[in-house]
Amino acid sequence: MMMQTKTAGPGSFSGFDLSSVPSPCFVTDMARLEDNLRLLNAVTEASGARILTALKAFSLWSTAPLVSRYLAGTCASGLYEARLARAHYSGLLSCFAPAYKTDEMDELAGLCDHIIFNTPQQISRFANQATAQGAELGLRVNPCLPQGEVEKYDPAAPRSRLGTPVSQLADYHFDQISGLHIHSLCEQGFSELANVISVVKPLLDRAGGRLSWLNLGGGHMITAPDYDREALINCLCDLKQRYDLDIYLEPGTAIAFDAGILVGEVMDIMENDGPIAILDISATCHMPDVLEAPYRPALLAEADTGTGVLVRLGGPSCLAGDVIGDYWFDHLPVPGQRLAFLDQAHYSMVKTTTFNGVPLPALALWDSRTDSLQLQKQFSYEDFEGRLS
């Protein structure tokens, strides 16, 4: 099954000069990023829930001052992200990982406000170490309610390693923790969250006031045009008032949704049962979700389906499957021609690799309100060399 792209369209990027940046290059629109943050802050103000940015999805820390202006903090997935959060972001820091290393717990707990564990066994092993540093303890619970488009991206899929199955939660576990963490969505709407809440409420009833917070994790597409934010606000208000809890959300995609593009260049055109364009953008190195999901990222200014010429776009690596997809063009592309893929600010840039010696894309910040452009970073051979020894 192919995952569908969530992009709502090019937005201001339809007027961006693709030749103004090196190729390849991730370009983040600060205006669109701020629009997303304003929407999330509006949910906070209306509901009282606190929203944290998921660094696993978007950790472009040059934008941290802007993100911290609107959101209540960050969530990390381990020690390195926790260090990054404390170095560049402000507010509460929550951390969840499927497992922790003993020799990292002291530092991690010293950095974090909340340490969320995957199993009660880990709480037993690390509770004293974590609380000695002042961190509050949480437990991730799996509602065992699969709703995802693609099983490998569904935290509640059968035999998931993420979270303790809800059936295994005993009453005494509530005495060991300050909060519950339930993350079982992936780029989904409110109706899927409502299904999860139906599992959450009986747990909170069983807790009987022993918890002080509830973290509903990520996967909430709050900034998508069709998301029912009014229903979300009502739901969060109800949970907060009924159970007297602090409520947290940890969206990743929603923070940078449609706020970035990946600019690339056609390097060559070949023919093999149809035209194939070799780009300096690699699916496996620069957009791994294209192969993992799989999904077909939207192309800026793609011609209407069935018109012009259908061209297969592939990357420069030696991986036979380094193929982005088939796209319609008004005319056959030529070497040197620039193109861009939409909605690439989240998850793409955090997953890039230098496999096969393929260079990493540069990073640029653009403000569509003023057309100001700042090249933040360009990578070099030394970045490739430094990965190994």
Residues 238 and 371 in one domain: no
Please classify residue 294 by burial: count the beta carbons closer than 10 Å to its beta carbon, then call 0-12 exposed, 13-18 middle and 19+ buried.
middle
Any domain includes 191: yes
CATH code, 364 = 2.40.37.10
Residues 225 and 312 in one domain: no
What gap in Å lies between CA 38 and CA 230, rounded to an integer? 15
pLDDT at residue 45 in the model: 98
Any domain includes 6: no
pLDDT at residue 2 in the model: 81
pLDDT at residue 4 in the model: 85
Residues 204 and 237 in one domain: yes
CATH code, 195 = 3.20.20.10
Residue of 132, 25, 16, 28 lying closest to 360 (CA atoms): 25
pLDDT at residue 284 in the model: 98
Any domain includes 34: no
The two three-digit tokens of residue 161, written as one number: 């390693």
What gap in Å lies between CA 167 and CA 39, rounded to an integer? 36
pLDDT at residue 3 in the model: 85
Residues 239 and 346 in one domain: no
User: Helix, strand or coil for residue 277?
Assistant: strand
Q: Match 């791994």 to its residue by tokens.
A: 288
Half-sphere exposure of 256 (CA within 13 A, CB side): 31
Any alpha helices (H) in 91-170, and if so which ranges? 102-111, 120-132
pLDDT at residue 256 in the model: 98
Q: 76 φ, ψ to 5°? A: -115, 165
Q: How many domains is the chain partitioned into structurally?
A: 2
User: Helix, strand or coil for residue 132?
Assistant: helix
Residues 354 and 283 in one domain: yes
Residues 250 and 279 in one domain: no
Residue of 120, 98, 99, 95 lying closest to 108 (CA atoms): 95
* 210: containing domain: 48-255
Residues 242 and 307 in one domain: no
pLDDT along the chain (389 residues), means of 10: 89 98 98 98 98 98 98 98 98 98 97 98 97 97 95 94 97 97 96 97 96 98 98 98 97 98 98 98 98 96 96 98 98 98 98 98 98 98 96
Residues 102 and 181 in one domain: yes
Any domain includes 42: no
Residues 59 and 184 in one domain: yes
**Residue pair 366/16 in contact by the 8 Å Cβ criterion:** yes
Residues 95 and 216 in one domain: yes
Residues 140 and 230 in one domain: yes
Any domain includes 32: no
